[in-house]
Amino acid sequence: MYGENAFLAVINIITLDAADIDGVRVSSGFGSFDTYEENVIFGKKIGKVDISGMARYRQTSGYDGTVESDFQTMLDGFFGSSASLAPGSVHDQRQEYDMNLKVCYEDLWFQGWYSNKNREPFIGGGLSLNTESDLESNYVFGEIGYKKTFEEIVTVKPRIYYDQFDSNSKFESFPENTVSPPYTYPDGMIYVVKGIERIAGTEIPLDVKLFDGNIFTFGVDYRLVNQSNNHFLSNFDPLTGAPLPDIQSFSDEYPFLPDITRRIFSVYLQDAYDVTDTLNITLGVRHDQYNDFGDATSPRVGLTWSFLENASLKLLYGEAFRAPTFYEMFQIDIGNADLDPERIRTYELGLSYQYNKYVTSSINYFYNDIKDLISINRTAPPPAPHLYENLTNAHVQGVEVETRVDISKGNYVFMNYTLKNQEDSDGHELPLVAKHTGNFGVNVHYWKYINTNLSTFVSGTRSRIDTDTRNDSPAYALLNLSFLGKEFFRTMEVQGTVFNVLDKDYSDPGPTRIPDDLPRPGRTFFVGLSYQF
């Protein structure tokens, strides 16, 4: 049962066990913008011990599209300076390391994960091109669990886990020689934010087979979330704005975020019942109790019914929430400790039908009722501060249609289309999201060693926020190609993708403080080679 974790989506991460890998798989790839990726996956069963894991490294210089003017361009116009680096290239360099290890001994298991990421902020925190920003994060996860089944009726799966996320972000908000009267900043305006979030928890789920076709689940979960080691440094005085000769710490005088602890206790129930061979009903509820803003209860009901041999119906109702983050509640100057969680109610109706052995289609209708959306209130009149607030509600409804036509084994045509209508509580269309999106293409398996997939992604226009007088962001279509070659030489595989084959010029809606939209990449490629030992 999902409560906080299912506000907009639930992602299931499926990892390969030792038996699935049974050896070592090495892969390497190269692509546009000096992109390199190396990957090793291993797994082996040795007696009663299963060992599996992976190591991955990826680096890229990133897309270097041109921004013709930025926010600093506007400031230069106001103050007569010439600090802007526009026209200039965006910065999207990235470097990533990931490592994973899982060890199982009979019913006991341990798994751990480490990830390090360094990236540049594309255009910069102040919406101005710069050269000195660097965002680094480290993530560590560890888990020990145990699974035991009694009499093939009761299964208990207790686990304890630990998460840690370290961030160290350096932002050059504005470039060298920026002017903001009465000051000039010869080294630009730079600040550094550091912090560590730790989560320690334990979960005890219990599955009980009440009778054939019925599984009852009960579970409890306790999490301790701590935000600490918070630091703020800058080369300007955060209270007066005066420039400083170097970067100095203001962690005591100007604490960006206080040290804080959140305690969460959760309990959940679920019953999955196969009423007949064609009818399944799932009922569940989860209750989460937070020490800092209260509690939330999230029910969920699902029904699937194969009412014909080749047709099925799906009904779903669910509630979920998103707890306000520490940054939204406690960040200096803009945090609001009185925030309520964002809440969502979801209704979904789906129908799938197989016309014959070649053609399968499905259609889904969904309606989402979202309350208490959190954002910064930038319309508050002076001298009121601009704080995070529960500003509005939203209603999202739409239809998803999907069809696949199998021509022969491995050869098929596919299509999916989504229509969404999104409005806030005042009936205004929610901005920046396309109402119409779709994808269609063909998969060709013309030789047993080669598979090719050609698809076109289509996006409709995207509207702007009310205060943005620019025209809607235009519609676009992107043609993409992928291929896979395998089994032509033992366990070797060759993969390749070409994104935006026709080199379409398109962009994403830019913030109102810069006059132009943000450029997106043209034609790009990636080619990889893998081998199983």
Say if residues 264 and 250 touch (Cβ distance below 8 Å).
no
> Does the residue 441 lie in any domain?
yes
> In terms of domains, do 409 and 488 share one?
no
pLDDT in tens, 344-371: 999 999 999 999 999 999 999 999 999 9
Say if residues 435 and 419 touch (Cβ distance below 8 Å).
yes
pLDDT in tens, 207-266: 999 999 999 999 999 999 999 999 999 999 998 999 999 999 999 888 889 999 999 999
Helix (H) or strand (E) holding 18: helix 18-21
Of 235, 224, 232, nearest to 184 by C-alpha is 235
C-alpha–C-alpha distance, residues 211 and 152, integer Å? 11
| Dihedral sign from CA coordinates of 205, 206, 209, 214 | negative
| Dihedral sign from CA coordinates of 334, 337, 338, 340 | positive
Which among 379, 413, 447 is the end of a domain?
Answer: 413
If 0-12 CB within 10 Å is exposed, 13-18 middle and 19+ buried, where does residue 288 land?
buried
Q: Which positions ≥6 away from 91 have C-beta within 8 Å?
A: 62, 64, 120, 121, 122, 123, 124, 129, 130, 131, 133
C-alpha–C-alpha distance, residues 29 and 524, integer Å? 14
pLDDT greater than 50 at residue 173: yes
pLDDT in tens, 404-438: 999 999 999 999 999 999 998 888 888 899 999 99
> In terms of domains, do 522 and 438 share one?
yes
> In terms of domains, do 396 and 457 share one?
no
Six-digit token string for 353: 């039908």
The distance from CA 490 to its chain's CA centroid, rounded to whole angstroms, is: 36
> Does the residue 265 lie in any domain?
no
> In terms of domains, do 406 and 445 share one?
no
Facing residues of 97 across strands? Answer: 57, 116
pLDDT greater than 80 at residue 13: no
> In terms of domains, do 401 and 442 share one?
no
> In terms of domains, do 376 and 281 share one?
yes
pTM over 0.85: yes
Which among 413, 441, 457 is the end of a domain?
Answer: 413
Residues 37, 97, 224, CA angle at the centre, nearest 5°? 145
> In terms of domains, do 395 and 445 share one?
no
> In terms of domains, do 316 and 405 share one?
yes
Mean per-residue pLDDT over the chain, rounded: 93
C-alpha–C-alpha distance, residues 7 and 296, integer Å? 12
> In terms of domains, do 460 and 384 share one?
no
> Does the residue 261 lie in any domain?
no
C-alpha–C-alpha distance, residues 134 and 192, integer Å? 9
Q: What percent of the chain has pLDDT over 90?
A: 82
> In terms of domains, do 436 and 522 share one?
yes
Total structural domains in the chain? 2
> Does the residue 367 lie in any domain?
yes
- Specify the residue for token string 């106001």: 78
> Does the residue 235 lie in any domain?
no
Which among 347, 382, 413 is the end of a domain?
Answer: 413
C-alpha–C-alpha distance, residues 159 and 102, integer Å? 14
Q: What single string gives the DSSP state of each residue in 56-117? A: EEEEE----PEES--HHHHHHHHHT------SEE-B--EEEEEEEEEEEETTEEEEEEEEEE
C-alpha–C-alpha distance, residues 494 and 33, integer Å? 20
Say if residues 130 and 124 touch (Cβ distance below 8 Å).
yes
> Does the residue 110 lie in any domain?
no
Domain of 366? Answer: 275-413
- Please state, in angstroms and as integers, the Cα–Cα distance from residue 74 to each residue in 55, 81, 95, following that order: 45, 10, 32
> Does the residue 74 lie in any domain?
no
> In terms of domains, do 481 and 446 share one?
yes
| 78 phi and psi angles, rounded to 5 deg | -70, -45
State the amino acid at position 359 in one-letter form: V
Ramachandran sector of residue 18 (left: φ over 0; alpha: ψ -120 to 50; beta: rest): alpha
Six-digit token string for 102: 């899982």
> In terms of domains, do 439 and 355 share one?
no
> Does the residue 209 lie in any domain?
no
pLDDT in tens, 296-338: 999 999 999 999 999 999 999 999 999 999 999 999 889 999 9
Tell me what the mean pLDDT of segment 175-182 comes to: 94
